Amino acid sequence: MKVYVKCPSKVTLFGEHAIVYGYPAISASLGKYLHMTIEEWREGIVIMAEGVKVDGAAVHIRKDWEIRSLGYADYPKHALRYIITALKLIEAEYAKLKPAKIMVKSTLPVGAGLGTSASVSVATIAGYLKYLGYEPTRKEIVKLAHKTEYTVQGKASPMDTSTVTYGGILYIKPKGEYGEAYIENLPKIKPKVVIGYVEKKYNTGFLVARVRELLDKNPKIIGAIMENIGRIVEKAKQLIKEERWEDLGRLMDVNHGLLYALGVSTLELERMVYASRLAGAYGAKLTGAGGGGSIVALVPEEKAENVKRAIEISGGKAFIAEIGVRGVEVEKVKS
Amino acid sequence: MKVYVKCPSKVTLFGEHAIVYGYPAISASLGKYLHMTIEEWREGIVIMAEGVKVDGAAVHIRKDWEIRSLGYADYPKHALRYIITALKLIEAEYAKLKPAKIMVKSTLPVGAGLGTSASVSVATIAGYLKYLGYEPTRKEIVKLAHKTEYTVQGKASPMDTSTVTYGGILYIKPKGEYGEAYIENLPKIKPKVVIGYVEKKYNTGFLVARVRELLDKNPKIIGAIMENIGRIVEKAKQLIKEERWEDLGRLMDVNHGLLYALGVSTLELERMVYASRLAGAYGAKLTGAGGGGSIVALVPEEKAENVKRAIEISGGKAFIAEIGVRGVEVEKVKS
C-alpha cells in the first residue's frame, strides 16, 4: 500500500492581516508543489523530510507516541511539527494509526508566506486518511488541517488550508474562529504571477502581534486601515470578474501601501516591489505576513521574464508561477 | 534705501496630499533660510538669484513689464517666476512699482518640497512692500503670497505661505479655495528633525494629478485613505501636546504608508526612511508631494548625527534642522 499526495502552495493576493480581524481576503493556489508519499512500514511511523527546512532529517515516532529524532534535534519547531500534530488529530478523530513511512519533499521556500505549513498539514491529512482507507471530503480535510495549524500556531485563518485543498482563486470571508468561512470561487486570473522572496526577518506570530499593538494604540486609525483593506478586497473581486488587470495591479500597489502602514514591509521587500513595477508589472505587493518573505507581482505574460530578472537583480530570488491550479490530489499507487 | 528679508522654509510633518481635499495638516517652519535684499536701482527691476536653481542668473524687468533675461533663458519656470508674479500682484493691489535691485539667495534644495516657492513669494511680498513704505500685517502677507502661488501653480494650499510667514508649528485646516484657513499654534517639538533629500523625479502638479486620477478610479478606497490621513493629523496634534514622541514617530511611519498607498513614494525615498528608522529615528516619512524630494525624520537628539549619516550612506543628502523657528523677518538696513 502506497499513497502519493501532490499539494499546491498558496499566495495571498489581497487582504492579509485584515483577515485576522474578520475581513475577507483573496488567495490563489500556486503551482509549486509539496510531494508526499505514505507507504507501509514495519513498526512506528518514520518521517523523512526534504526541502522543508530539515533536509535529510528523519524522525521516528514509536507506537506509544514517544517521538524520537534521528539526526535532527530541532524538528518540532519546523514543518515536521505539523505532520506530527496532524497524525495525532487523525488518531483522536478517526482511528488508531498504522505503521507508515512518510516521505515529504517541497521545492518551496519555507516561512516565505507561501503556505508550506498548510500544504504539509493538508497533504498529511488527505494522504494518511487515504492510507487508512478513508475517503474524506475536501471539507473534512480543510477542517482537520485548519485544526492542525491552529494547534501548532495558537491562531490560524482558514485561508491557507482552504486554498491548497480546493485550489483555484478563492474569495474567503472568515466566520468564527474555528475554520468556518464563506468561500466563493473566482474566475481565472489571466496575467502571469511572479513571486519574489528574500529571507524572512520576523515570524508571522511576531508580526501579527506587532500589528495588534499598533491597533491597540491607534484603534481608529489602524481600524480604518483594516476596514479599507476589506474594501480593497471587495473591489479586487469585482475587477477580477471584469478582467481589468491594470486596475487590479494598481489596487495591489494600494494594498501594499496599507500593509506598509501597518508596519510589516521591509526595505528588501520594497526593492522587489519597485523592481517589479519598473520592469512592467501591473502591480506588486508583499504577500503573507511580511517582515521579509515574499512579494507577488501581477504581470503581462510578455513581461514575466523581465520582472523575474529585475527581482533577482534587486536581491531576491524569483519564479514565474501558475496560479489557480487544482487543489490537493491523492492517489493510491500500489495496493 | 535697502531692505533685508530673512525667511525660513517649511516642512510638512503630517497631512500632505489630504490637505488638497480639505483635511488638516501639521507643518513647521524650518531653520534653513532664504535671504533677500531689495535696494534702490536706476531703472526697472533687476533680479539676481543665487541658489534658487538659477545660480548667477539675472533678469531685468523693464518698466513696461517686458521681461528680459540676462544669461538664463529658462527662469520663468523656476523661482523667479514667483518673484515676478508677486511684484505684479503688488502693483495690482498696492502701488506702482519703483525701480529696485532684488538679490535672493537660498541654501535650500529647490523643488524638494521644503517650501522654497512659498519662501520666495513671502520674502518678495514682505520685502518689497516694506521697500515701498508699507507695513503689512502677517495676514496680509500670507494672503498675497498665497495668491502668488495660486497664480503660478494653478492650485495651492495656504499651508506653505502661512508656515513661513508665521513660523512655529502649525495645525492648519483650509477653509475654501483662496488661502483662508483655520490655524492653531502647537507647542514646541523637542526631538530633533533630520531632513534627507534626493532629486525629485516628478513635479508636484503631476503628483497631485496622479493622486486625483487614482481617487477618481477608486473613490471609496482612496477617499478613505484621505479621511484617515485627516484622522492621523488630529491624533498627531494631541500627541505633540502630550509630548509623546515615540508614538508620534510611529504615526509618521503610518502616515508615510498611506502616502505610499497614494502612489507618491519612490524607492529612493524608501531607502532614506528605512535608513532613518534603522539609525534610531522615532519615525520617518516623505514630506511634501513625494515622487522623490525630501523625507523628514523625528529623532532623539543623541541620534541625530547617526541618522544624518545613515541617510547619506543610503544615497541622499541630509541635514539636522531646527523646526518651529520664527517666521519671515524684514529689516530696513539703510535709509
CATH number, position B127: 3.30.230.10
Entry pTM:
0.90
Residue A231 to residue B221, Cβ atoms within 8 A: yes
Least trusted range by pLDDT, from A96-100, A209-213, B281-285: A96-100
Least trusted range by pLDDT, from A253-262, B191-200, B228-237: B191-200
Residue B218 to residue A224, Cβ atoms within 8 A: no
| Residue B2 pLDDT class (50, 70, 90 cuts) | very high
Residues A211 and A122 in one domain: no
By percentage, how much of chain A surpasses pLDDT 90? 68
Instruction: Please give the residue of chain A at the shortest CA–CA distance from B259.
Output: A257
pLDDT higher than 60, residue B76: no
Q: Is B304 on the interface with A (CB under 8 A)?
A: no
- The closest CB to that of A231, out of B220, B235, B274, belongs to B220
From A15's Cα to the closest Cα of chain B, the distance in A is 14
Give the pLDDT score at A220.
98
Q: Is B233 on the interface with A (CB under 8 A)?
A: no
From A266's Cα to the closest Cα of chain B, the distance in A is 8
- The label of the residue with cell 515574499 reads A294
Chain A residues within 8 A of B263 when measuring between CB atoms: 250, 253-254, 257
Residues A167 and A239 in one domain: no
Give the pLDDT score at A125.
98
Provide the annotated active-site residues of B. 160
Cβ-based contacts under 8 A for chains A and B: 95
Q: Is A227 on the interface with B (CB under 8 A)?
A: yes
Residue A250 to residue B214, Cβ atoms within 8 A: yes
If you write DSSP's letter for every residue of A132-165 in order, what string do you get? TT----HHHHHHHHHHHHHHHHS---SHHHHHHH
Q: Is A216 on the interface with B (CB under 8 A)?
A: no
User: What is the mean predicted confidence (pLDDT) over B36-49?
Assistant: 85
DSSP E strand stretches across chain B: 2-14, 25-39, 45-50, 57-61, 67-70, 100-106, 169-174, 181-186, 192-198, 283-287, 293-299, 317-321, 329-334
How many CA atoms within 13 Å lie on the side-chain side of A34?
A: 36
| Residue A299 pLDDT class (50, 70, 90 cuts) | very high
If you write DSSP's letter for every residue of B69-133 in order, what string do you get? EES-TTGGGSHHHHHHHHHHHHHHHT-----EEEEEEE-SPTTSSS-HHHHHHHHHHHHHHHHTT
Give the per-residue SS3 of A184-244: EEECCCCCEEEEEEECCCCCHHHHHHHHHHHHHHCHHHHHHHHHHHHHHHHHHHHHHHCCC
pLDDT higher than 80, residue B165: yes
Chain B residues within 8 A of A259 when measuring between CB atoms: 257
At A305, which CATH number?
A: 3.30.70.890
How far apart (Å, rounded) are the C-alpha atoms in residues A136 and A128? Answer: 10
Residues B199 and B276 in one domain: yes
Residues A204 and A165 in one domain: no
pLDDT higher than 90, residue B199: no
Give the pLDDT score at B178.
62
Give the pLDDT score at B46.
81
Residue pair B9/B34 in contact by the 8 Å Cβ criterion? yes
Catalytic residue among A74, A160, A216, A247: A160
User: What is the mean predicted confidence (pLDDT) over A207-226?
Assistant: 95
Residues A270 and A239 in one domain: yes
Residue A228 to residue B231, Cβ atoms within 8 A: no
Give the pLDDT score at B74.
46
Residues A134 and A210 in one domain: no
Residues B99 and B200 in one domain: no
Chain A residues within 8 A of B290 when measuring between CB atoms: none
pLDDT higher than 90, residue B133: yes
- The closest CB to that of B267, out of A222, A228, A274, belongs to A274
Number of domains in chain B: 2
Domain that holds residue B117: 2-186+324-333
User: What is the mean predicted confidence (pLDDT) over B248-275?
Assistant: 97
User: What is the mean predicted confidence (pLDDT) over A17-37?
Assistant: 94
User: Which is more confident, B54 or A217?
Assistant: A217
Residues B144 and B243 in one domain: no
Q: In the structure grid, which three cell numbers stand for residue B250, read together?
A: 510611529
Instruction: Please give the residue of chain A at the shortest CA–CA distance from B265.
Output: A257
The residues that bridge with B26 in the sheet, in sequence order, are B14, B171
User: What is the mean predicted confidence (pLDDT) over B159-175?
Assistant: 94
pLDDT higher than 60, residue A64: no
Give the pLDDT score at B118.
92
The predicted-structure confidence for A75-88, as pLDDT tens digits, reads as follows 444 677 888 889 98
Residues A31 and A169 in one domain: yes
pLDDT higher than 80, residue A109: no
pLDDT higher than 60, residue A321: yes
Give the pLDDT score at A89.
93
Residues B240 and B106 in one domain: no
Residues B209 and B289 in one domain: yes
Residue B235 to residue A218, Cβ atoms within 8 A: yes
| Substitution target from B23, B258, B259, B295 for chain A, most A beta carbons within 10 A | B258
pLDDT higher than 50, residue A266: yes
- The closest CB to that of B257, out of A224, A250, A261, belongs to A261
The predicted-structure confidence for A115-168, as pLDDT tens digits, reads as follows 888 999 999 999 999 999 999 999 999 999 999 988 888 777 789 999 999 999
Q: 3-state DSSP call for residue B138?
A: helix
pLDDT higher than 50, residue B56: no
Residues A297 and A226 in one domain: yes
How far apart (Å, rounded) are the C-alpha atoms in residues B59 and B47? Answer: 5
The predicted-structure confidence for A193-212, as pLDDT tens digits, reads as follows 999 999 887 877 788 889 99
pLDDT higher than 50, residue B73: no
pLDDT higher than 80, residue A176: no
